[in-house]
Amino acid sequence: MDREQTEKDKSETSTVSRRSFLKLLIAGVAAAAGVVSLNFLRPKPIEPELTTVIPTTAKVTPSTFSTTPSSKGASVVVVRGSPSVKPALLVEKALESLGGAEKIVPSGASIFVKPNVGFYDKEAATDPAVVVAAVNCLKRASPSRIVAGESSVRGNDTEHALQVTGMRSIVGEAGVEVKDLRKDQEVNVSVPKGKAMSSVNVFKIVRDSSFIVDIPRLKRHSATTTTISLKNMMGTVPDSEKGRFHQVNLNQCIADLNSVMRPSLVIIDATRVMTKRGPTGGIMVELNTVMASLDPVAADLVAAEELFKAEGATDPTASAGRVEHIRMAAELGVGVADRSKIEVMEVKVS
Amino acid sequence: MKRRSFLRLFGLGLATFSFFGILPRVVKGRPLVRPPGSRVEDFFNAICVRCSRCVQICPTGVIATANLGDGFKELGTPKIDPAKGSCERVQGRCEEQARCAEACPTGAILRVQRDNVKLGSTVINTGKCIAWQGGPCLTCYEVCPVIGAITLFDESRPLFNENVCVGCGRCVYACPAQPKALTLTSKGERRT
């Protein structure tokens, strides 16, 4: 009886423990798998979701002012001052030489001003004084609205960049709102002439503007050789698109983007230019110059030449001609990159 | 309960426990990158009370809470997750404010000199890097806040200097390659 009882006990315990062992093992594996899969399930916050995607046709800029057919040529104004001359005066002279803001800007236009505020670095950003001077000139053309905006490089916070560069406070004082474009809606714009992309997402406020004023600082760039007005337009697309540009073909994408979001007026801040290295940490050279043009390609070509000259290049014209995205933009008909067809108007202010 | 079944259950529990303890090491295989000024790992795990105040206060949102996959000991502690942003203690929105250190109630994260901040370093996989594959991309070089951490080979390809890199993770966050060519590691971290 005793023996039977013990055997019964034995068999019971062994059955139960074997089963419970298996159950526990399976539960353990399942729990571990669950924990691991939780990591994969978490949303990846790197690429922001699109808020809205509205298919639209290509942006048409006012024909009277912006479209400069390659055959006709272009003109670029180069205003040179001295260390004692304020940047505001250089900007005024530049726009005056182009015919005056009242003539350049159609009345009632909705203006979007695009300075370069890509980094937490004053030297890498457009001088706020230049932006203020431009805004004050543009106001005379009685536009329906003027808005400035930027979306900094991937990894940098635009709001912080606007604050540390003084853009938010200084331009704000001039009565113009400076927007962190990342908070704006994204819209999809088709790129009919695009070679590297057929459509691109841009910020709505930029697409809805009828007159884009591009105000970059003249700088060197590690990946695109120079960053002037064409490259500055990358601040009008969301981070996900900036990433795609780099993956696909950065130079071609910049050209493609400018074929639909073409700046109507370019004012280049070359008061202090960044040479040798960029877009941050380069050697600053004082040029006390402001350039302006209605043709972003011609403006970039002439400005690039100035930059290489400041670096002491042996043949600055040839170096400027080798900047890929400028050449590609010209091929898409964004503007003129033929040096013989560009009229450079030199103005001296002292 | 019989003595034997008790021992069996005890053994089983021990086996399960060690299984969970080992599994995360196998899956992860890499130590966590900690917030700037974190104490040495064992001490950090011991005194961190898992309150998540540093996670909530971080202005860039780069601090995440470690989960079971990161290890039992680490569960609930803060870690740097460069998929969410970058640490701006060296340059940017935080700097001298050292918000995570200020928020820490136990001293698991200490306020250290800005020059002394080193969370780790970035490691590159040139096979995935757009620039090393011949494309025009130097996003990492552009966004890097520390001069000399990334130098250029042939003016077009990034090289990472482990000793200069502070491990802020900005390049990792910004890297446009898919999958990312850069990984943030705790290699070379400075802990107190």
Question: What is the 3 state secondary structure string of A238-263?
Answer: CHHHHHHHHHHCHHHHHHHHHHHCCC
Q: Which three-class secondary structure state does DSSP give residue A269?
A: strand
- Cβ atoms A109, A144 nearer than 8 A: yes
Q: In the prediction, which pLDDT does A46 show? A: 41
What gap in Å lies between CA A332 and CA A191, rounded to an integer? 11
- Given the candidates 3.40.1350.10, 3.10.450.50, 1.25.40.10, 3.40.50.11440, the CATH classification of the domain at A76-348 is 3.40.50.11440
How confident is residue A21, by pLDDT bands cut at 50, 70 and 90?
Answer: confident
DSSP per residue, A122-150:
GGGSPPHHHHHHHHHHHHTT--SEEEEEE
Characterize the bridge pairing of strands A211-215 and A145-150: unpaired
B25, B137, B156, B170: which to substitute to probe chain A, counting the most A Cβ within 10 Å? B137
At A335, phi and psi to the nearest 5? -175, -165
Residue in the block written with tokens 């500055």 = A232
Q: What is the CA radius of gyration of chain A?
A: 28
Distance of residue B57 Cα from the nearest chain A Cα, in angstroms? 16
Confidence band of A45 (pLDDT split at 50, 70, 90): very low
Burial pattern B39-73, b for ≥16 Cβ within 10 A else e, equals: bebeebbeebeeebbbbeebebebbbbbbbbbbee
- Rounded to an integer, the average pLDDT of A291-298 is 97
Question: With contacts defined as CB-CB under 8 Å, which chain B residues touch A251?
Answer: 136
CB count in 10 Å sphere of residue B133: 13
Residues of A at the B interface, defined by Cβ within 8 angstroms: 9, 13, 16-17, 20-21, 24-25, 28, 31-32, 35-36, 38-39, 44-46, 119-120, 153-157, 160, 222-224, 242-247, 249-251, 279-281, 324
Nearest CA in chain A to B147: A281
Cα distance between residue A338 and residue A345, in whole Å: 16
- For residue A277, the chain B residues in CB contact (below 8 A) are none
Q: Which residue of B has its CA nearest to A254?
A: B136
Radius of gyration, alpha carbons of chain B: 20
Instruction: Show which of residues 50-69 on chain B sit within 8 Å of chain A, judged by CB atoms.
Output: 60, 67-69
Residue type, A14: S
B90 at interface of A, judged by CB pairs closer than 8 A: no
What ipTM does the predicted assembly reach?
0.82
Assess contact for B119 and B33: CB atoms under 8 A: yes
* Structure-model confidence comparison of residues A56 and B105, the more confident one: B105
Answer whether residue A139 shows pLDDT above 60. yes
Q: Is the pLDDT of residue A56 over 50?
A: no
Which pLDDT belongs to residue A44? 44
Residue among A103, A101, A106, A77 at smallest CA distance from A90: A77
CB-nearest to B176 from A120, A247, A279 is: A247
CA distance, residue B176 to nearest chain A CA (Å): 5
Return d(Cα B69, Cα A36) in angstroms, integer. 6
What's the pTM value of the predicted model, to 2 decimals?
0.81
Rounded CA gap, A243 and A254, in Å?
12
* Of the partner residues A24, A44, A223, the one whose CB lies closest to the CB of residue B137: A223
Cα A152 vs. chain centroid, distance in angstroms?
7
Q: Among A184-198, A234-248, B19-33, which stretch is predicted with the lowest mean pLDDT?
A: B19-33
Structural domains of chain B, with CATH: 32-185 (3.30.70.20)
Q: Are A72 and B109 in contact (CB under 8 A)?
A: no
Question: How far is residue B167's CA from residue B122's CA, in Å, rounded to a whole number?
Answer: 6
